[in-house]
Amino acid sequence: MNTVLITGCSSGYGLETARHFHAQGWNVVATMRNPREGVLPASDRIRMLALDVTDSESIRAALAAAGPIDVLVNNAGIGVVGAFEATPMAHVRKVFETNTLGTMEMVQAVIPQMRARRSGVIVNVTSSVTLAAMPFAAAYTASKQAIEGFTGSLSHELSAFGVRVKLVEPGYAPTTRFSQNTELNIADLIPDAYADFAKPIFADFANPALTTKESDVAKVVWQAGQDLSGRLRFPAGADAVALSKAR
């Protein structure tokens, strides 16, 4: 039976992806910084492990406990919304530590086992901000664009060993905790000088024409994990699909 390891399973896309893989009959290793009971169904095919993707020892311990995995889903991430001018560089570094370097270190840690078996899939979850430039998302976009370039290069690099590498690009899901997954208050990151510019933008955020559901992302991650066509990018959610087609 196949095994998937998913990062960032405490809520949102990661949690729903864990549920979806389990429903398909897979063994699921659901990881999060602070595992807690009740977020996933009780099952002998689900294990919850503590994992902080910004901590090398935590990565080593989690992968040792997980054993061989067939699919790695790099979903863990933190966000930041606001004017870049007002965003503390300390937080920008935290965003890159999790979204970019955390993903890269997870990938580097699983490559040896997949390369040795000449099989496996790595799915890196980015964002629809990589599909179209959006205001008040500069640092977050940069952290995700880095993974887009990284994944494209890596897909060529590992294809010689039978390891597939994929990108899933989710759209905007108002029901996720993404905007809460930061210690910063959005209002503090919109200086008065930006107020007139920001007002209609945040009004659009509050009433989006198209959105993404957690289940949309889970299904597309599953699809990417099964794909044998050589396709790299998989937009997830109605808004992400529309942006991808427009691009």
Q: Which residues are catalytic?
A: 140
* Alpha carbons within 13 A on the beta-carbon side of 229: 7
> Two tokens at 142?
């940069």
At 140, which amino acid appears? Y
List Cβ neighbours of 91 (8 Å cut-off, separation of 6 or more).
Answer: 80, 139, 182, 183, 184
Evaluate whether 161 touches 171 at the Cβ level (below 8 Å).
Answer: no
**Residue from 197, 42, 22, 212 nearest 126 by CA:** 212
Contacts of the segment 106-113: beta carbons below 8 A, 24+ positions apart: 106/7, 106/53, 106/59, 106/72, 106/74, 107/72, 107/74, 107/154, 109/59, 109/60, 109/63, 110/5, 110/63, 110/69, 110/72, 111/158, 111/163, 113/68, 113/69
Tokens encoding 93: 């570094």
